[in-house]
Amino acid sequence: MSDSSNRQSGAAVPRHIAIIMDGNNRWAKQRHLPALAGHKAGVDSLRGVIEGCIESGVEVLTVFAFSSENWRRPALEVRGLMELFRLALDREVSKLRKNGIRLRVIGDRSRFSEDLQARIAKAEQATEDGQRLCLNVAANYGGHWDITEAARELARRCASGELTPGQITPELLDSQTCLADLPKPDLCIRTGGEQRISNFLIWQFAYTEFYFSPLFWPDFGKEAVAQAIQDFSTRERRFGKTSEQIEAGQ
């Protein structure tokens, strides 16, 4: 990864963007289409956003594709989403590899079919050498699950005698969470007009900047992500310090 002072046209560029891709269903409903049509249109939007991120110098893009709560949706929609996920893996992996994009899927894979789990592993292996962008797809992911899994691993190590509770630090817990090897998200974009994080990357969002767009996800593309990055570049990130300290380089 490059230095955190990524710049484009003199403006700060986030190293890591996280996106809550919201509004597919409402987009479809406005057009009197089935819900799955909105999700299919959302895949096209993701292509444009990936392209925009690469052009802007973003290093990591993490997208919330399917939350651990989304299993509660109508069974027909869930089945359609699983099939769409499978088709996207089949159709997009060669393009990702050709364009130097590394794919990683984060979340609890155990609930997916064995076939889908195998396709995910194959896609990750095929793109593991990508250097232009790391694309993380959160599928059957939840922030509570992420933190619980990290705590469970530390508890296991305490029980085995590898650790004592007094040795557990925020940094150690962080090392067990998803995406621990990557920079924390600098910017989280949520489309669809809602203003909440919906159990996404709770641990990782401690100092993340937020950008809420009224656009439904299928209408959010390369130009929209460029606007979000431009907005980010105008913000002062203090991380607990004062503006004066930041200006003085302290």
Active site (annotated) includes residue 70 = yes
Distance CA 195, CA 213 (A): 9
What is the residue-wise DSSP string for 44-83?
HHHHHHHHHHHHHT--EEEEEEEETTGGGS-HHHHHHHHH
Q: Which of 6, 24, 44, 70 is catalytic?
A: 70
User: Which residues, at least 6 apart from 239, have a Cβ–Cβ distance to it below 8 Å?
Assistant: 207
Which one from 3, 6, 22, 24 is the annotated catalytic residue? 22
Distances (CA, A) of 120 to 90, 134, 246: 10, 15, 43
Strands (E), the chain: 7-8, 11-12, 16-20, 60-67, 101-106, 133-141, 187-190, 209-212
Cα 206–Cα 143–Cα 17 angle in degrees, nearest 5: 55
Calpha distance 94→45 (Å, rounded): 18
Helix axes of 222-233 and 35-56: crossing angle, nearest 10 degrees: 50
- Evaluated on CA atoms 178, 180, 183, 188, the torsion sign reads positive
Q: Is there a catalytic annotation at residue 99?
A: no
Which residues have a catalytic role annotated?
22, 70
